[in-house]
Structure 1
Amino acid sequence: MADEAGKTARSGWEIGVSRTLPYPGSRLWEFLLGREGLEIWLGPGVELPRQRGAGYETANGTSGQIRSFHEGSRVRLTWRPKDWDHDSTVQLTVVDLGKRATVKIHQEWLADAAERTEARAYWQDVIERVEAALAER
């Protein structure tokens, strides 16, 4: 029997990664939604709109639409790299824990187990790069 870990009846193949960092939630959110942070997790050359239904496209061709935006805590959007034939949904959440905060990234509607594996590696790298960029500040 094939390994079906990561496949749900409701939203297909999905992945989630998270990390608690030694920064207040407001600082982490500000970084992630600023130019440098957006380039790390979403792609280069994009400003993320805040209104539901608004579209975006990065310089490398990733495109999507805002599904929901909760200032300071969560953004949910569709995410489609230029070489994909389908949309996925990404939710970025910042949980403020006072002097620390947890960043959570959840992606669903992935095509298959291989795409899930690629997504896991991508989002783990994103969190590593966010942590390194904040440490340099």
Structure 2
Amino acid sequence: MYEWLLGRKPVGLTADVGFQIGVRRTLPLSLEEAWDLLISKEGVGLWLGETASYRLQAGLSLLAEDGTSAQLRLFKPVSHMRMSWQRKEWDDSSALQIRVLPASGGKTTISFHQEKLEDPYIREIMLRHWEHVTDRLNLLADLRQEKERSR
């Protein structure tokens, strides 16, 4: 993280879009189940924050209660979504892409890729944020699986 201060190229620095971060997690859900979790009220509450009612679609602007905002640029169901994503305290928005990818054994990998981050410190903060989000999504997936098994 201190490479930048020492004049070295730090981890995550791109040639033209600032800093980037990518976090992936494989969940015990089918592609459709994972997508449904991501776009559910609980799922959006994790990757954006608590919002009013919505129906996700390209062009939609979202504002969370904590001031985090997003503008959906691309929304391809059961595949991916791209958006500008900005915390209230940031001067500029970042670019966020969320994908669902098929994995072996009927599981699904959820991927968060974020670009246009200002510096390595913001990158580190967002790394921890997306790791927390994927941990919580995994917990929700496990709870959904338990619920299905108990039926």
Per the shorter chain, which TM-score range?
A: over 0.9
Q: In structure 2, what is the Cα distance between the partners aligned to 1:75 and 1:123?
A: 16
Query: What's the counterpart of residue 117 of structure 2?
Result: 110
Count of matched residue pairs: 136
Uncovered stretches (5+) of structure 1, i.e. residues with no partner: none
More strand by share: 1
Identity %: 34
TM-score, normalization by structure 1: 0.93
CA distance in 1, matches of 2:143, 2:128: 23
When normalised by structure 2's length, the TM-score is: 0.85
The structure number with the bigger radius of gyration is 2
Q: How is 1:1-137 mapped onto 2 (pairs within 5 angstroms)?
A: 1-46=7-52, 47=54, 49-51=56-58, 53-97=59-103, 99-137=106-144
Partner Cα separation in structure 2 for residue 90 and residue 78 of structure 1:
6
Unaligned residue ranges in structure 2 (runs of 5+): 1-6, 145-151
Deviations along 1:5-40, one digit per CA (max 9) or x if unpaired, are 100012110000001112111000001101011101
Kindly report structure 1 stretches of 4+ aligned residues shifted beyond 3 Å.
none
Q: Aligned-residue CA RMSD in angstroms?
A: 1.4
Deviation at 1:104, TM superposition (A): 0.4
